[in-house]
Structure formats: C-alpha cells, structure tokens
Amino acid sequence: MNEERDLEKMYAELERIHGDSIEEKAAEAHRKADQMRMSVEVSTDSNNNPLRINVAVGPHHFIEIGLVNGKVHVFKGETHHGTMYEAASVGSEWESVSSAKCSSPDLRFDTLPDDHQTVLFSQKKDDLALYYLRPGEE
C-alpha cells in the first residue's frame, strides 16, 4: 500500500511540475523522441569482426546489413517488412533479391554465433517520454 501512495505522490508532483495534461505532454515528448530516433547496433564475433549492423531511424524505418549464405546483403524496410539487396559483388547495383516480407528462409541473415557480442549506440529518451512509456512498455 505504501508503494501505491508513493506512486500517486510522484504522479501528483509530475502533474504539478508539468501541468494538468501530463499524459498529453508525455505522449508528445514520446512522439518527438521517435521522430529523432537514430540507433546503431553492431554485432561482432569473438574477435570483434562485424557480423551484422542494424540502423534504426525515426519511428519505424531501418537498414540491416549482414551475411546471407556468406555474402553481404542489405535489408531496408519499415516496421517488419522491406526489401533485401545483394551487395557482395562489384556491379551488383543493389540488385533486389527479395521484396515484401522476405519470407524465404534462404534469404534471411546467417545465424550469429553463440559467442557474438552486440553494442548499441542510441539516443536516450527524455524523462517525460520515459514516464509516459512506464517500465516494460517500451
């Protein structure tokens, strides 16, 4: 019960600081944070050689670079669908090898080894956006 009262006090203080429409302000802060989102994630093997690179921009756009059957491919998309391009040879001119949801198993990126490492570079959401998201809702 004490935790619940403490939480209510915290919300009341946030509303006092930010005004009566804290949910609207938090939603707006979250929307602005999504519009500015730029994150880069790099997965490497145990020798720190890059295996896969993920670039996420805006609310739902991404570029993923990795290997398919040992050849470099680029997957460009929105949310969970896009187009896979082969980029392993000179003159490939980013030839499209798949479109839509890339459902063919042989056109998915090669599996990362168990000992791979991942580093994420990302912009931090502000406190108001984090309040709006609440833990576990990101």
The domain in which residue 103 lies consists of 37-122
C-beta separation of 109 from 69 below 8 A: no
Do 135 and 85 lie in one domain? The reply is: no
**CA–CA dist 21, 29 (Å, integer):** 12
Do 54 and 96 lie in one domain? The reply is: yes
Do 62 and 105 lie in one domain? The reply is: yes
pTM: 0.58
Coil, helix or strand for 114?
coil
Average pLDDT, the chain: 76
Do 43 and 23 lie in one domain? The reply is: no
Give residue 25's pLDDT band: very low, low, confident or very high (50, 70, 90).
confident
Do 65 and 77 lie in one domain? The reply is: yes
Tens digits of residue pLDDT in 29-44 = 777 878 888 888 899 8
**In the chain, % of residues over pLDDT 70:** 72
Indicate the number of domains in the chain: 2
Do 88 and 58 lie in one domain? The reply is: yes
